[in-house]
Structure formats: C-alpha cells, structure tokens
Structure 1
Amino acid sequence: MKKSLIALAVLAASGAAMAQSSVTLFGIVDTGISYVNKDAGGSNSHYGVGTSGNATSRLGLRGTEDLGGGLKAGFWLEGEIFGDNGNANGFNFRRESTVRLSGNFGEVRLGRETTPTFRTSLKYDVFGATGIGQFMGYKAWSAVPAAGIADADTIRKDNMLSYSTPNFNGFNANISYAFDENASGAGKSGRYFGGNVGYDNGPISATLAYGKLNLVGGDRDEIELGGSYNFGVAKLTGLAQQVKYKWDGAPSQKYNNYMIGVSAPVGGVGEVKAQYAYYDQKGNDTKAQQLSLGYVHNLSKRTALYGTVSYLKNNDNSVLGLKAKGVYDGNVLAGVNQTGVQVGIRHAF
C-alpha cells in the first residue's frame, strides 16, 4: 500500500510538472506562381513556381516552462522551408534559434534572431517583408561589406544577447548585442549593437530604432522611425530609414529610404494592400521608386489566397531588383525598370 501511494504521488507530481510546460509545432507553407520581367541580362523574363509570396514559409518548435513566481523559461527554433523544391539545400534553424528567460523584469534571449532594427521595418511593411511587394530598405547597399561579413543586411545576427522590457502602458524597448566571436586582437568586424523604443496602444503605434554593424575598415549605421494608425476602415503605415556606411579614411555612403502603406479589410474575408517606397541612394548617386498592390482572400483562419503586383522604376545607376523567392531574386541592369506578379496560396498550422 505504501509503495502504491508513493507511485501515485510521483505520477501526480510528474503530471503537475508536465502541465506547467508545453511545446508547440507550428509553421506556414506559402507556395505560388511568380513572374518577373527584365533580369540582369536586360531582357529575359523569369516565371515559375516559387515560395513565400505572402508570408515566409517556415517550420518551428517553441516551448515554455512555468518555473513559478512569474518566472518562465522557453525556447524558439524556427527554420525556413521551400514549398517549390522541398529545401533542396537542407533544413536549418537560421530564422531563429534562441533560449529565453522571462518574468516581471522582461525577457532575456540568447542565440540567433532578428535584430531590433529590422523588427521595425517588419512591423510597418504592409507586405510583411516578403514577396515582390516588400520594402527593400534592408539590404547590403554597399558591395564592400558583403565580403567576409555574415548577415551584412543586419536582418538577423548570430550569437546575440537581447533584453526586452515589460510593457509599460504601451511603452516598450529592446536592446541587443551580437558577439563576433573573433579571437582577441582580430578586430571587431561582424559585431552588432542595436535597440529600439516603441509605443503601442490602441490604434497608435510608433517605433524608433538604431543599429550599428562593425565592418572591415568601417561601420554600417542605421536609424529608422516608423509608425501606424488604425482608422478601423483602413490602417495607415509609414517608415523613414537611413543606412550609412562610414569608412576609415574614405568618404561615407548614405542611403535614405522611405515607405508609406495602407491596408483595409474587405467584406470580412479579404484585405487590400498598397505601398509606395522611395529609395534615395545617395551613395550610388541614384534613386528608385516602387509601387505595390496586393489582395489577400481568407478561405479560413489558416488558409488564404493572394495576389500581388509590383512595379519598380530605377533611375540611371540604380540596379534594384524585385524579390520573387524561388523564381528571381537579383539585380537588374542599371536604369532598367521591372514589373512582377505573384499569385499563390498560404496555409498556416
């Protein structure tokens, strides 16, 4: 009888512990057909089945454990998947790989994740930073830092220590530092430091962000201010960004990028989106403009059909190209304009 009571007590304790922790499998599969004209050859068009036209296709695991007293431990593992070829190069967790500790003090994360500066762009881009309609302010504008610097576009960084504050009546903040893990005396290239402060309350949202990436022989500085207001019938968003390369003993290069967008619900099952972006590439002495229109039709809470069309106008010397993942993602000849179309289906689980 005593052994039975002990066994029941162990089972009860085990059940209580399991009830306080959870692991979730989640993901998105987004696959469609894309068309983009005028590639880097100047005349060839590209078309076919691609991925991530409306939302980045992904597969992930996330979990939390309640440690008591308001303290929680957790993890997040997330990798990109490609519906068009089934991850021909193999699956990894390069989208995010973090362990977390949270409580009344906020949250601390360790690992690879999005930078606080890119989160601002992602927050106000009505196309969710994916597909041919996305705002393209985040890229390695200068060809120099691409050599030997991982994640030169500062979208994500490895080896990052991040702290996010609790929400104080709508106010929030984040600060992050990514170690380069170079040997002592090898320089600081690859290190990233950034942060943001924001206000999100009701229909109003605003965020100010700053980040610095150490390069070989210089730095990449970026600062941006974004905001949105939800009128109910439509949501208006805007973003101003400056990316500046500061070189040792050489002139700096500056790139000012601006975006304004609007999204509106339609009939309770759909959403129309429009966005205009202006890329003032002072570092290349040129400019580009992008106009994108899209529609998403929700078949259910998890499944949607979508269509997007985008037009990119390049001035002389500008070589920006539309991004249609799995079909075309590159530059064009200087001064060549480009048009792209995407239609597809997105399913979340």
Structure 2
Amino acid sequence: MSRCVLQSSSSRLRASTSGSTLAESTGRAKKSKCNAAQQILASSSFGSGRLKLPKSPLCDSHKQSNTLTTSQNCKVTVVACPRKSRGLLFLAQYAKNEYRGIGLRSAGICCSVVAAALSLSCQHVSAQSSVTLGGMTDISIRYLTNDDAQNDGRFFMANGAVINSHFGLHGTEDLGNGLKAVFELENNFNPQNGSMGDSGRLFDSAANVGLSGDFGAVTFGRQDTPLFYKLITTFDPLTYASYPENSWLPWALEAGLAADNSIRYIADIGGLSVGAMYSFGGNYEISGPAGFSGDVPGHFTAGSLANLLLSYTTGALDVGAGVQQLRDNSNHRQTVFNLDARYSVSDIKIYTGWLYSQDNTGLIDTLLAEQSIPDISRIKGTDRIDNGPFGGFAWQVAPSALLSTAIYYDHMQNATTATGALGSGSRYTVVALAEYSLSKRTEVYGTVDFNKVNGTAAVELPGRSNQTGIAVGLRNFF
C-alpha cells in the first residue's frame, strides 16, 4: 500500500500519491479559488498538537477524517509534526493570519495546500520520521458450557475472539545511511468495560526501542518472542486465538509469548528469516508462583529466556523451526521445540505444526490448570512432557469472506493431578471461524469451539471432560 508524502519548498507545497495529481500548482492558483480553502482551514481544529481534517471529495466518504483514502486508493494517516519541523501543522497554525508559513504568502497557500492537508502523512524535509497511532477494538458475545464445578453454562461479553483489543504507537526516524531508530508502545484493553488489559502496567503488550537497517532490526524491552511472532504472522491458522479455550497450546508451551527485559534480533535475508532473543528475566506472564523474576545476584541466567527461530519461504511454501529455553530462579528449565509449515494453493492456505515441551519448572501445570492443583513447589522437577501437533486451513471464499478451521492436540506425560500424583492424559480443541468484512476496517464474525480432555488433563477444564463455546463479534481497525 502506497503512502502519501507531503513535500515542501520555499515557494510551493504539493502532495504526491505515487504520481497522481491532487491539485493545481500553487503558482497558478487564483485568489478567487481560495474561498473553499479558507473555509476548510478555518473550520479545522489545530489544538492539542493534532490537525482534524474534514471529509473531502478526494477521499472515500466512508473513511474517518483522520484516516483518508484518495481516489488512487492511497491510505494516509494524520500524525502530529513538531513546530520546529516547519511542517503542515506549523503552517496551519498561521492559517488565520493571512496564510503565512513555509515561504507562502496570502493567496499562495490556496488549493494545493488544502489538497496536501487532505492527503497528510506529515513527513517533512528535515528528517524522514513518523509516529503512527493504530489498533483495533474487538468485542464478542460468548456462551460456554460446563464452565464451573457444577457444570453450569455461562453467557457473557468478552474481548475479541482472535486478537485482543489493543492500541499502540509505532514510530521510526531516519538516521541516514539506511539506519533508522524504531519504537513500539502497545496496550491491550477490555472494550466490554473500558479497563486496561493489565491494570499493573501501561503497555502490557509491547514497550521497546531499537535500530533497524540492512542488517535487520535489534530492539530492547518488552516484545514478542521470535517463536511466537512467526507463529501468529505465518503458521497459526487462527493467527493466535485470544480465548483461553482456543489458545492454550501456544500460550502455555511457549511460556507466555512475550518477554520482558529482552534483546531481540530479526532479519530477512532473501527468503530466509532469522530471529533470536535473550531475556534477562522478569517475564510478566510467568513471574508469579513459578519464580521467574530473574535479577538474582550471583546467578546470571536466573529467570532468563533464550529463543532462536529460522524460517524460509519459497514460492507457495513456508517452513520454520525454532527452539526456546526458559529458566526459573532455581535453574529449573523448560525447553520448547517447534516445527511449522504453510502451503498456499489458490485461495486456500494449509497449516501444520508441532510444539514439544519438556518442563521441570512446574510452569505448564500451573498455567493450564482450571481446577486446583498442589503448590508449585511440589511439582517442580517432575519433568512434564507435552507433545502438541496442530493444523488447519484458511479459505478466502470471497474477497470479503474468510473461513478458517484449526485443531490443537496435546499428549502429556508426568502431568500433575489435583491430588498431586503424576500421570498421562490428552486434550484436543477443534475451532471453526467465519469472518466477513463490511469495509476495509470493519468485520463481523462467528466462531464455534469444542474442547475434550481425558486422564490427567481433566484439571484443564473447570467442569466435565468437555466444553463447547459459541461466539459472535464485531471488530473495527483504526
């Protein structure tokens, strides 16, 4: 998707959208043609460091005013420019004072400035940098059977079925010679009540900064592990479901999916992708009873996480392999191996994968238990093994309709029962998801899922040995 670029010089201001012309040259504009421009700019809001733009015939009418699509289908985003950049916001703040700024006088601002405002991307001459605010609001109505020890059903409102509602800031700054500074700040939230996804932190999904260039990208902070990042972008048929009844396999076996206090490297070399990470500890999702806080004097690797991923794309085939090792504060370990493949044929994508975990920390028992289990100190060192194949497909039935199915399976050994004994068991989940796009930003969906457990896995469901879930939802991207 192309981006509109605002270009400025000492004598003119014009907008370009991959070669399309949005307005006449400023030099030829007549003062009589500025009436509409004056009305538009005068009615705009320049407060709080942001420019609100009215709708324009140049843009699709269904788009909101701060995310516009030109007649050339060029999506642009309104962002704030520092005053020192002498960008359009600086110009707009002087609009009511005879339209002075960037070398333009009175009527010289005219038609092309308004056209540029309507295709604003706010990339100024002094430094090619941008900050983008984006995200998604997704809410669903869900019903679950056998959702307590008395096998009662539950009807409730929930977050999204596929990915949690979230918003975030993503920024880049061009440092020259192909080097860029990048940052990411992202927060999950609960649209059903307006609360934060995690009341204890502002950016629970991501908070990192780094450098990118021809060598790849190195980032520091809280971020997805390479194993999880590749899984959700390429190899999971549901792109990682957010209901715990659907996402239990990758969430538990991959140790919480994101890592705090981490250094991550990602690079694409032709069809080969490389990802590596090291975390110093304090991984949030697992920092409680399992003892993964890290930062233990004299124990450099306490609470640490190390992750390595390789994937390759050739034609319609994608393949990947990864390994991850997590240590607790007592040097017990959880090791995960992962193999994945995806094949595209016509409008169908076929997925298959395998997750294998060997856990001496008690982590998996703790994360998956819906019923009471013994204290974590009693189940460390039990050498639990999980063998988890998964697969599915996604079918683009029509440009606006997508059907997806997935099955997740786990055979476990040395898992902990409610009484503290060890045993074997299995669990599988089958999911069907139908999504329909009402526009480029708005979708509706319906989903059905079924869980079945036996043996030691019985503690992973709250009631009977099976559970069915049904949900419908609405999501909007912004």
Q: TM-score, normalised by structure 1?
A: 0.85
| Matching of residue 242 in structure 1 with residue 377 in structure 2 | no
- Alpha-carbon spacing, 1:170–1:332, altered in 2? closer, same or farther (3 Å): same
2-structure distance, mates of 1:120, 1:162? 13
- Once the two structures are superposed, the pairs formed by residues 147-166 of structure 1 within 5 Å of their partners are 153-165=255-267
Alpha-carbon separation, structure 2, partners of 1:249 and 1:33: 38
The answer to whether structure 1 residue 51 and structure 2 residue 159 are counterparts is: yes
Task: Quote how far apart the aligned CAs of 1:33 are.
Answer: 0.1
- Superposed CA deviations along residues 136-177 of structure 1, whole A, max 9, x for unmatched, are 223447xxxxxxxxxx82311100011112x22210101100
> After superposition, where does 1:127-276 map in structure 2 within 5 Å?
127-132=238-243, 134-140=246-252, 153-165=255-267, 167-180=268-281, 182-186=295-299, 188-217=301-330, 218-246=332-360, 250-276=381-407
Highest RCO, 1 vs 2 (Cα 8 Å, sep ≥ 6): 1
Aligned counterpart for 2:211 among listed residues 98, 101, 106: 101
In the TM superposition, what is the alpha-carbon distance from 1:134 to its structure 2 partner?
Answer: 3.3
* RMSD value, Cα: 2.5
Q: Secondary structure at the match of 1:111?
A: strand
**3-state SS of the aligned residue for 2:125?**
helix
Structure having the larger proportion of residues in helix: 2
Distance 1:188 1:79 in 2: 28
Per-residue deviation, residues 313-337 of structure 1 (Å, max 9, x unmatched): 111321475xxxxxxxxx424x610
Please identify the structure whose Cα radius of gyration is greater.
2
SS at match of 1:94: coil
Q: What is the rounded CA distance, in whole Å, between the counterparts of 1:199 and 1:128 in structure 2?
A: 18
Offset of 1:40 from its aligned partner?
A: 3.5
Once the two structures are superposed, the pairs formed by residues 331-342 of structure 1 within 5 Å of their partners are: 331-333=461-463, 336-342=465-471
Superposed CA deviations along residues 223-242 of structure 1, whole A, max 9, x for unmatched, are 10011001023110011010
d(CA) in 2 for partners of 1:10, 1:42 = 64
Change in Cα spacing, 1:311 to 1:305, as seen in structure 2 (3 Å) is: same
Structure 1 residues 261 and 10 mapped into 2: Cα distance closer, same or farther (>3 Å)? closer
Q: 1:250 to 1:269 in 2, by over 3 A?
A: closer
In structure 1, the partner of 2:454 is 315
Unaligned runs of at least 5 residues, structure 2: 1-9, 11-83, 87-101, 103-122, 282-293, 362-378, 416-423
TM-score for both structures, normalised by structure 2: 0.63
Instruction: Name which of 113, 117, 128 aligns with 2:227.
Output: 117
Q: Percentage identity across aligned positions?
A: 26
SS of the aligned residue for 1:137 comes to helix
The aligned length equals 319
**Is the 2:135–2:168 Cα contact (8 Å) retained in structure 1?**
yes
Question: In 2, are the aligned partners of 1:198 and 1:206 still within 8 Å (CA)?
Answer: yes
